[in-house]
């Protein structure tokens, strides 16, 4: 795939803050045009590379979602899109065009895998095209075994961490982003080559508050618009927006397993998740 020098690529594991970061990047690439952002669904403001290649095959077989066919696959749309492009992907760097970090600008967002797993569990239960039916304990076991969509979790984190000081790479933690939005926004604006007053950054931070975001129709998942897609009892695409919520889902056994799993996988690195 062609990578363009003025591309911005946002690379994440799902449920790590992709949508929030995407909104920030799009706004900074478009002169903070809130009006256009509100009027144009996120789906049409960025190119989600692998969308819709990962839906449950049943969705395709049943052919019950005719509107799915209205959405061409992201990388095809991206190929003919005008510059500058905002490209979003949940694929790891090692599966992307090898020169992406040298040619384009890349933003990676990392999040504590325990919070990622809880959030991913809710999403995979919520939409019929994924239809995860087990409880969280089963989900967590499968997550650690690399048997959940887009796992394994750690190799992408480690391969990107090594490049974190590359001049064309911005490595962010979700935990830092929500703890101190203005300072994160400062970092992102410098990376994008933009300068904003403190007042503009505070307005943007306000726009990103979880309550505002929940009500913002243009950042909701496009899956929600597909008739019959939503299972009952879902907690929503923009959900809690907090760090450390995993504690409510892990019993003592899972907590210890998680600690061992994380320590084993991060051994030899200086990556730490802080919240
Ligand atoms: P939770 O389910 O823990 O609440 P992604 O966009 O990569 O799918 O990430 C989704 C996660 O980011 C969800 O986490 C979601 O609630 C959270 N999120 C989305 N917008 C947010 C915002 N403006 N501020 C804080 N968290 C946000």
Q: Which two tokens mark 223?
A: 């899956």
Atom 22 (ligand 1): residue with closest C-alpha?
210
Mean pLDDT of the chain: 92
Long-range contacts, stretch 132-139, CB < 8 angstroms, 24+ apart: 136/249, 137/251, 137/254
What does the alpha-carbon distance between residue 218 and residue 39 come to, in Å, rounded to a whole number? 7
CA–chain centroid gap for 268, Å, is 26
Model confidence pLDDT, tens digit, residues 186-206: 999 999 999 999 999 999 999
Best of 10, 11, 14, 19 for a ligand 1 pocket test (most atoms within 8 Å of beta carbon): 19
Alpha carbon of 62 to ligand 1 centroid (Å): 30
The pLDDT value recorded for residue 250 is: 98
Atom 19 (ligand 1): residue with closest C-alpha?
238
Residue 166 reports pLDDT greater than 70: yes
In this prediction, what percent of the chain has a pLDDT beyond 70? Answer: 93
Model confidence pLDDT, tens digit, residues 217-258: 999 998 887 777 889 999 999 999 999 999 999 999 999 999
Whole-model pTM: value is 0.95
The pLDDT value recorded for residue 74 is: 85
Q: Is any ligand 1 atom within 6 A of the Cβ of residue 18?
A: yes
Q: How far is CA 185 from CA 142, 179, 222, 242, in A?
A: 35, 12, 26, 18
SS3 letters for the chain?
Answer: CCCCCCCEEEEECCCCCHHHHHHHHHHHHCCCCHHHHHHCCHHHCCEECCCCCCCCHHHHHHCCCHHHHHCCCHHHHHHCCCCCCEEEECCCHHHCCCCHHHHCEEEEEECCHHHHHHHHHHHHHHECCCCCCCCHHHHHHHHHCCCCCCCCCHHHHHHHHCCCCCCCEEEEEHHHHHHCHHHHHHHHHHHCCCCCCHHHHHHHHHHCCHHHHHHCHHHCCHHHHCCCCECCCCCCCCCCCCCCHHHHCCCHHHHHHHHHHHHHHHCCCCCCCCC
Residue 63 reports pLDDT greater than 50: no
Alpha carbon of 19 to ligand 1 centroid (Å): 7
Best of 22, 111, 238, 248 for a ligand 1 pocket test (most atoms within 8 Å of beta carbon): 238
Locate the ligand 1 atom nearest the alpha carbon of residue 13 and give its number: 7
Locate the ligand 1 atom nearest the alpha carbon of residue 208 and give its number: 23
- Average pLDDT of span 58-66: 49
- Which of 50-54, 66-70, 161-165, 167-171 is least confident? 66-70
Residue 274 reports pLDDT greater than 50: yes
Alpha carbon of 20 to ligand 1 centroid (Å): 7
Residue 113 reports pLDDT greater than 70: yes
Residue 36 reports pLDDT greater than 90: yes
Q: Is any ligand 1 atom within 6 A of the Cβ of residue 20?
A: yes
Alpha carbon of 18 to ligand 1 centroid (Å): 7
Atom 2 (ligand 1): residue with closest C-alpha?
119
Model confidence pLDDT, tens digit, residues 170-190: 999 999 999 999 999 999 999
Q: Is any ligand 1 atom within 6 A of the Cβ of residue 178?
A: yes
Residue 71 reports pLDDT greater than 70: no
């Amino acid at each position: 795939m062609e990578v363009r020098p003025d591309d911005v690529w946002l690379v994440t594991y799902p449920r790590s803050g992709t949508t929030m970061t995407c909104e920030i990047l799009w706004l900074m690439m478009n002169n903070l045009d809130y009006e256009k952002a509100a009027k144009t669904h996120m789906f049409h403001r960025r190119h989600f590379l692998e969308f819709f290649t990962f839906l449950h095959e049943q969705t395709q077989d049943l052919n019950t979602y005719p509107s799915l066919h209205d959405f061409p696959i992201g990388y095809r749309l991206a190929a003919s899109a005008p510059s500058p492009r905002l490209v979003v992907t949940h694929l790891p760097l090692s599966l992307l065009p090898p020169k992406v970090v040298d040619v384009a600008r890349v933003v990676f967002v990392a999040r504590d895998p325990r919070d990622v797993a809880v959030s991913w569990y809710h999403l995979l239960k919520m939409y019929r095209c994924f239809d995860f039916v087990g409880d969280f304990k089963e989900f967590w076991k499968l997550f650690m075994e690399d048997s959940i969509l887009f796992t394994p979790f750690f190799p992408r984190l480690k391969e990107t961490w090594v490049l974190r000081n590359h001049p064309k790479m911005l490595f962010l933690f979700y935990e830092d982003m929500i703890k101190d939005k203005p300072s994160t926004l400062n970092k992102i604006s410098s990376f994008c080559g933009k300068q904003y007053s403190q007042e503009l950054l505070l307005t943007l931070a306000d726009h990103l508050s979880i309550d505002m975001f929940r009500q913002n129709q243009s950042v909701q998942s496009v899956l929600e618009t597909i008739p019959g897609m939503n299972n009952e009892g879902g907690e929503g695409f923009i959900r809690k927006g907090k760090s450390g919520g995993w504690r409510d889902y892990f019993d003592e056994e899972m907590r210890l397993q998680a600690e061992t799993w994380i320590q084993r996988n991060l051994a030899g690195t200086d990556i730490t998740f802080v919240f």
